[in-house]
């Protein structure tokens, strides 16, 4: 996982597979960066994510709730078609997700 | 497809969900199943195994059996069985966004994703005996 912080915007570049195991680790790391930088906008970039199940949806939802507490914005970008499918099947309305790659 | 099957037994640790996914991907690829179908089955299986890992044994560890059967009518049957505490109310567990562990940040949509990705989902659970999740899917797309 890589991150970039610039002018109040924090971008997190997620990688590989977002499942129950990786999400437990990532949760603490991402929240650490959010608390450190207190960004006005968080971007989760899924370009290099090859697999995601509902654990990934939990990860996105959890960060979204934290970002809302900070009164900041969040965007989820570059989900592959198979990840977009999982997001749609979950039937959770995630206004932060930008569809289309 | 000819009849074939694979059985895997794992300890209920979250790091073991990935090896199960790798195994089923490899198993289905050699059977000429199209990548889109492999992705659907892999995701549904990941949800079922994650469910068992997260909920079956509380803080202890126990075994989870995973079986994948293919028949000559191109049906795939996946069975994920644990021997843990069982699901108290299956109909409640099937409700979208319901989670018995909100503090763990579960989205509560695992069963909904499984239902959407396979043709048939059966959840058979007995308190203090365990849970069997059975999923059946017809393979429609093959590799060229």
What is the domain range of residue A16? 2-89
**A57 touching B, CB under 8 A?**
yes
Tokens of B22: 């790798």
* DSSP code string of A48-75: EEEEE-HHHHHHHHHHHHHHHHTT-EEE
pLDDT of residue A80: 93
Distance (Å, rounded) from C-alpha A82 to C-alpha A11? Answer: 22
Half-sphere exposure of B73 (CA within 13 A, CB side): 5
Distance (Å, rounded) from C-alpha A16 to C-alpha A19? Answer: 10
pLDDT of residue A101: 62
Check residue A78 and give left, alpha or beta (phi > 0: left; psi -120 to 50: alpha).
left
Residue B143 lies in a domain: no
Backbone angles phi, psi at B62, to 5 degrees: -145, -175
Residue A82 lies in a domain: yes
Confidence of residue B135 (pLDDT cuts 50, 70, 90): very high
pLDDT of residue B143: 77
Residues of A in contact with B96 (CB under 8 A): 91-92
Residue A95 lies in a domain: no
The domain tally of chain A equals 1
Q: What is the mean pLDDT of chain B?
A: 92
Residue B144 lies in a domain: no
What is the domain range of residue B108? 4-138
Share of chain B above pLDDT 70, in %: 99
pLDDT of residue A95: 73
Residues of A in contact with B24 (CB under 8 A): none
The domain tally of chain B equals 1
CATH code for position A6:
3.30.750.24
pLDDT in tens, B56-108: 998 899 999 999 999 999 999 999 999 999 998 888 888 877 888 777 777 78
* Structural contact between residues B41 and B93, judged by C-beta atoms closer than 8 angstroms: no
Residue A71 lies in a domain: yes
How many inter-chain contacts (A to B, CB under 8 Å) are there?
A: 72
CATH code for position B60:
3.30.565.10
B-side interface with A, Cβ within 8 Å? 14-15, 17-18, 21, 36, 39, 42-43, 46-47, 50, 53-54, 96-97, 104-110, 112-113, 116-117
pLDDT in tens, B9-49: 999 999 999 999 999 999 999 998 999 999 999 999 999 99
Q: What ipTM does this complex have?
A: 0.90
Nearest to A54 among B36, B42, B113 (CB): B113
Residue B46 lies in a domain: yes
Residues of A in contact with B104 (CB under 8 A): 58
With CA atoms as reference, report the closest residue to B53 among A54, A16, A28, A17: A54
Helices A54-69 and B35-55 cross at an angle (nearest 10°) of 70
Q: What is the pLDDT along chain A (101 residues), one digit of tens a residue?
A: 999 999 999 999 999 999 999 999 999 999 999 999 999 999 999 999 999 999 999 999 999 999 999 999 999 999 999 999 998 887 776 777 776 66
- How far off is chain B from A4, nearest CA to CA, in Å? 25
Distance (Å, rounded) from C-alpha B79 to C-alpha B123? Answer: 10
Residue B8 lies in a domain: yes
pLDDT of residue A62: 93
pLDDT of residue A100: 62
């Amino acid at each position: 996982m890589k991150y970039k912080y610039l002018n109040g915007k924090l971008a997190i570049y997620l990688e590989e597979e977002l499942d129950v195991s990786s999400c437990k680790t990532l949760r603490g790391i991402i929240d650490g960066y959010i608390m450190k930088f207190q960004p006005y906008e968080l971007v989760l970039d899924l370009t290099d994510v090859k697999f995601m199940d509902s654990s990934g949806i939990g990860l996105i939802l959890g960060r979204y709730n934290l970002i809302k507490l900070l009164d900041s914005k969040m965007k989820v970008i570059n989900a592959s078609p198979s990840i977009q499918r999982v997001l749609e099947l979950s039937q959770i309305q995630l206004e932060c997700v930008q569809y289309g790659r | 497809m000819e009849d074939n099957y694979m059985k895997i037994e794992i300890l209920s640790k979250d790091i073991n969900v990935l090896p199960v996914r790798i195994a089923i991907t490899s198993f289905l690829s050699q059977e000429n199943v199209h990548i889109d179908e492999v992705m659907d089955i892999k995701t549904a299986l990941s949800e079922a195994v994650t469910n068992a890992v997260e909920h079956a044994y509380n803080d202890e560890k126990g075994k989870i059996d995973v079986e994948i059967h293919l028949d000559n009518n191109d049906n795939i049957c996946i069975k994920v069985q644990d021997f843990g505490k069982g699901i108290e109310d299956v109909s409640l567990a099937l409700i979208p966004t319901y989670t018995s562990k909100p503090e763990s940040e579960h989205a509560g949509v695992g069963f909904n994703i499984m239902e959407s990705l396979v043709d048939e989902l059966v959840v058979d659970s007995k308190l203090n005996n365990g849970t069997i999740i059975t999923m059946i899917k017809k393979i429609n797309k093959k590799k060229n």
